[in-house]
């Protein structure tokens, strides 16, 4: 039976492709979902792909993943740098967690250099553009295979 991974996206990522394309690129979130689905299929993984601008909704999705998912790929966007609550939720999840950032956050403003989520993440992708999602899904295939 195929395993399921949750791919979760935080605030403003619904505007991917329109929002600061010089930083986040021209691909849309729908493009990201399609590339994740294709990569996941090649590893016999199913995906649940979601985006929310609301911290509590992301936490609810992580709680749902506790019951339904073998792994979580998460781009918490700005909540990366602020949310102890998302860190606490991820700490209730038993499978692998991979943190993704489209941009190279360490090259940017100092407030983007700290990640609460990195205290839980098993791996971190930053600066690979949206290809970081594909690489994270491939790594999930490796970890869960
Ligand atoms: C996305 C955001 O929205 C920012 O708040 C983060 C991250 C970086 C990204 O690179 O995907 O600082």
Residues annotated as part of the active site: 24, 101
62 annotated as ligand-binding: no
Q: 75 CB less than 6 Å from ligand 1?
A: yes
Compute the distance from residue 2 Cα to the ligand 1 centre, in Å.
30
Burial class (CB in 10 A: 0-12, 13-18, 19+), 21: exposed
Q: What is the pLDDT of residues 12-44, one digit of tens each?
A: 999 999 999 999 999 999 999 999 999 999 999
Banded model confidence at residue 120, pLDDT cuts 50, 70, 90: very high
Closest C-alpha among 62, 71, 65 to residue 3: 71
Q: What is the pLDDT of residues 53-109, one digit of tens each?
A: 999 999 999 999 999 999 999 999 999 999 999 999 999 999 999 999 999 999 999
Nearest CA to ligand 1 atom 3: 77
Q: 78 CB less than 6 Å from ligand 1?
A: yes
Q: 83 CB less than 6 Å from ligand 1?
A: no
Average pLDDT over residues 137-141: 98
Compute the distance from residue 10 Cα to the ligand 1 centre, in Å.
9
Q: Which domains does the chain have, with CATH numbers?
A: 3-144 (3.40.50.9100)
Task: Characterize the bridge pairing of strands 97-101 and 123-126.
Answer: parallel
103 annotated as ligand-binding: yes
Position in ligand 1 atom list of the atom nearest CA 12 = 3
112 annotated as ligand-binding: yes
Q: What is the DSSP string of 81-107?
A: GT-HHHHHHHTT--S-EEEEESS-GGG
Q: 3 CB less than 6 Å from ligand 1?
A: no
pLDDT at 1 over 90: no
Using CA atoms, how far apart are residues 29 and 14, in angstroms rounded to an integer? 6
């Amino acid at each position: 039976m195929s395993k399921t991974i949750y791919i979760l996206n935080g605030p403003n990522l619904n505007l991917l492709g329109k929002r600061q394309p010089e930083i986040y690129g021209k691909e849309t979130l729908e493009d990201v979902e399609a590339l994740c689905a294709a990569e996941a299929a090649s590893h016999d993984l199913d995906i649940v792909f979601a985006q929310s601008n609301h911290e509590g909704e992301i936490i609810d999705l992580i709680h749902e993943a506790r019951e339904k998912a073998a792994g979580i790929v998460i781009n918490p966007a700005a909540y990366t740098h602020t949310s102890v609550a998302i860190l606490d939720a991820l700490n209730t999840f038993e499978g692998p967690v991979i943190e993704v950032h489209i941009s190279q956050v360490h090259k940017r403003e100092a407030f983007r250099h700290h990640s609460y989520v990195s205290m839980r993440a098993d791996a971190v992708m930053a600066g690979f553009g949206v290809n970081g999602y594909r690489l994270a899904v491939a790594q999930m295939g490796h970890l869960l295979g």
